[in-house]
Amino acid sequence: MEKITIDYRNVVSVLSKNDLSSMEKRIKLCHNMLHRGNGEGSNYLGWINLPSSYEQEETKKIKEVAEKIKKESDVLIVVGIGGSYLGARAAIEMLNHNFYNELPKEKRKGPKVYFAGHNISPMYIKNLLDVIGDQHISLNVISKSGTTTEPGIVFRIFKEYMENRYGKKEAMTRIYATTDRSHGALRELASQEGYETFVIPNNIGGRYSVLTPVGLLPMAVSGINIEDVLEGAKRAQADLSDDSLKTNNCYKYAALRNLLYSRGKTTEVMVTNEPNLYYMGEWYKQLFGESEGKDGKGIFPASMNFTTDLHSLGQYLQDGKKNIFETAINIEKSQEDIAISKDKLNLDGLNYLEGKTLDYINRKAMEGALAAHTDGGVPNIVINLPEITPFYYGYLTYFFMKACGMSGYLLEVNPFDQPGVEAYKRNMFRLLGKPGYEEVYEEIVATLERV
């Protein structure tokens, strides 16, 4: 299997080779922080060696439960928010048919998979219930604490729905909880109700948890080979284990993005030319946004899909404020292709493309856009992914997680906490009248007044 490679020729207008080599000492220092656990947030570094130490018994259990769900259900509902659903959704969207849920049962490798708990829209939930109709369902609720508001509310609704439909005893056999090993409301409820459970390791935070049962169970239910996913991550762990900026591509990527940030490039846009990588962009946004946006610092993560978004945001990228750089994921080998045929009338003027394939045209469209953006003052880094397979999904997610840990330490922030996320929750709880939050609000106001 080939490695993921990066091409950074299009940053030469902003950076020089000396700029990159000047980062070597800091890279080695931050590498030691990651591998020796002497940096901030070090008690959340369990993902570093996870791929090479994953227990076979856990993989076996995930596969067995996935088969059970496949046999008895037409639909799997995954309830979670943030890191509790984005990695799994990215994998299912990336590795399966673009219209997976629309395929007839015999053409799918598993039941339909829908996601809930990542919003609290009544329209979304009602529409989802309408779609389910009389299809049989299983439910995987994912939360380390069990008290996160959005998935907590939605799980309560679906738990009641399933108990009314199947009866409490059968509903219990169709609900699977992925949660803390021994603590929290969901763990307590699962023990009381008798749900089958999977563990989120204590030393792995939500946005780094995709290679745990958080991501692997929904993947397996959809028919993805999770052993290949783990093998890809294991290969990435080995390939990206040294502290050399010359040979470690994920460290090179982390260094380049921080150098660009120091030159005023404060927004990074992940771009792809494949629609089924859309949720990979969503996962990347949470990973980097929640890890780096602290202490008034951080690169703002965004994502775009070419060529679709070039017709809405291309003008801004080309001629707008020059605080942006791009990271493009280039798929080197396409799984599908279609050739353009000749049209007798040629009213659309496209006969010059006769014999060329959509994959070729798609590549040239991306190359052309990146060249234009570079000329317009928007540098870019290209990450070359050999092909879209479970192996390379595992490799890519590990690549980004390690790059994110390194990048956070280079920024001198803790890449494993998220204190700012709690701010909206405090205000929401106060406005909803949650017991105790009126006093908390008054204390905050009094503190601000004293300041």
Q: Is 425 within a domain?
A: no
Q: Are residues 112 and 12 in the same domain?
A: no
Q: Which of 425, 438, 439, 443 is catalytic?
A: 425
H helices of 240-277, where?
Answer: 249-262
Q: Is the peptide bond before 307 cis (omega within 30 degrees of 0)?
A: yes
Tokens at 415, concatenated = 């890449």
Residue 93 catalytic? no
pLDDT band at 434 (very low <50, low <70, confident <90, very high): confident
Distance CA 25, CA 31 (A): 10
Q: Is 141 within a domain?
A: yes
pTM: 0.93
Q: Are residues 197 and 344 in the same domain?
A: no
Q: Distances in Å between the alpha carbon of 354 and those of 105, 337, 345, 357, 401?
A: 36, 14, 13, 8, 42
Residue 290 catalytic? yes
Distance CA 78, CA 114 (A): 6
Q: Are residues 15 and 119 in the same domain?
A: no
Distance CA 391, CA 370 (A): 27
In this predicted structure, which of 12-21, 109-118, 194-203, 268-277 has the lowest mean pLDDT? 12-21
Place of tokens 């998935």: 151
3-state secondary structure 325-358: EEEEEEEEECCCCCECCCCCCCCCCCHHHCCCEH
In this prediction, residues 359-370 reach a mean pLDDT of: 94
Q: Are residues 112 and 190 in the same domain?
A: yes
Q: Is 435 within a domain?
A: no
Question: Using CA of residue 87, residue 93, residue 95, residue 96, what is the dihedral sign?
Answer: positive
Q: Are residues 407 and 352 in the same domain?
A: yes
Tokens at 10, concatenated = 């299009």
Give the pLDDT score at 436. 67
Q: Are residues 212 and 249 in the same domain?
A: no
In this prediction, residues 407-423 reach a mean pLDDT of: 87
pLDDT band at 411 (very low <50, low <70, confident <90, very high): very high
Distance CA 423, CA 304 (A): 28
User: 350-368 burial by CB neighbour count: b if 16+ within 10 A, else e?
Assistant: eeebeeeeebeebbeebee
Q: Which domain does 104 fall in, by range? A: 50-227
Q: Are residues 206 and 312 in the same domain?
A: no
Q: Are residues 99 and 235 in the same domain?
A: no
Give the pLDDT score at 376. 94
In this prediction, residues 92-106 reach a mean pLDDT of: 96
**Backbone phi and psi for residue 387, each to the nearest 5 degrees, phi listed first:** -165, 170
**CATH code for the domain in which residue 392 is found:** 3.40.50.10490
Q: Is 151 within a domain?
A: yes
Total domains in the fold of the chain: 2
Give the pLDDT score at 1. 76
Q: Which of 290, 292, 294, 326 is catalytic?
A: 290
Q: Is 429 within a domain?
A: no
Asked whether the predicted pLDDT for residue 295 surpasses 60, the reply is yes
Give the pLDDT score at 451. 42
Give the pLDDT score at 429. 72
